Amino acid sequence: MALVILGTFVIHEGAHWGAGTILGHQMSYGLNGSVPSAATSAGDHALISIAGPLVTILQALTALYLVRTRQSVAAFAILYAAAFMRVVAQGLSFILPNDEARVSDWLGIGFWTLPFVTAAALVACTIWASRRLGASWRFNALAYLVASLTVSVIVGADMMIGRAG
């Protein structure tokens, strides 16, 4: 689970970095944030912001398919990681708006609309997958514990290391 969480962060932030680079911006990359090095237009900022969640949602949908068709516990870990990451990001939006909150606000549909819809859909998929696999509450509690510790280490490491420009 810890490696899946780390991989989810790398891929999510890589999507931000890739979108910004494709749009012609110099980007800085970190484990918990990839941002343009200079100011961008509101539209470019929204595209860069939404790229990470879109890739994370694609990751979750692929994993959900594998849970449904192959009863894959590894795919469940991938789905769980995507859901956990977006739920934590939504919770932290009280302090600093997450990707979905920024885009939701930019679209004029309310600050909490996209974060809530994204997190709720991913959690619903994770609950369904857990039931499909017959996972115990202990299994889910252990997944939560490992995910929490891993996210804490990743965020802490990112704060200590900084971003590569």
Full pLDDT tens readout for the chain, 165 residues: 999 999 999 999 999 999 999 999 999 999 899 999 999 999 999 999 999 999 999 999 999 999 999 999 999 999 999 999 999 999 999 999 999 999 999 999 999 999 999 999 999 999 999 999 999 999 999 999 999 999 999 999 998 887 666
pLDDT at residue 161 in the model:
86
Alpha helices in 29-136 (DSSP H): 42-70, 73-92, 99-107, 113-133
pLDDT at 165: 60
Other CB atoms within a 10 A radius of the CB of residue 71 amount to 13
Q: What span, in angstroms and rounded, lies between the C-alpha atoms of 28 and 158?
A: 12
- In single-letter form, the type of residue at position 17 comes to W
Can you tell me the distance from the alpha carbon of 21 to that of 89, in angstroms, rounded to the nearest whole number? Answer: 23
Q: What share of the chain is helix, strand, coil (3-state, %, to 5)?
A: 75, 5, 20
Phi-psi domain of 40 (left: phi exceeds 0; alpha: psi -120 through 50; beta: other):
beta
Helix (H/G/I), strand (E/B), else coil: 36: strand
Supply the pLDDT for residue 163: 61
- In three-state secondary structure terms, 72 is coil
Amino acid at 4: V
pTM for the whole thing?
A: 0.94
Predicted pLDDT at 74: 98
Q: Where are the domains positioned within the chain?
A: 2-161
Amino acid at 119: A
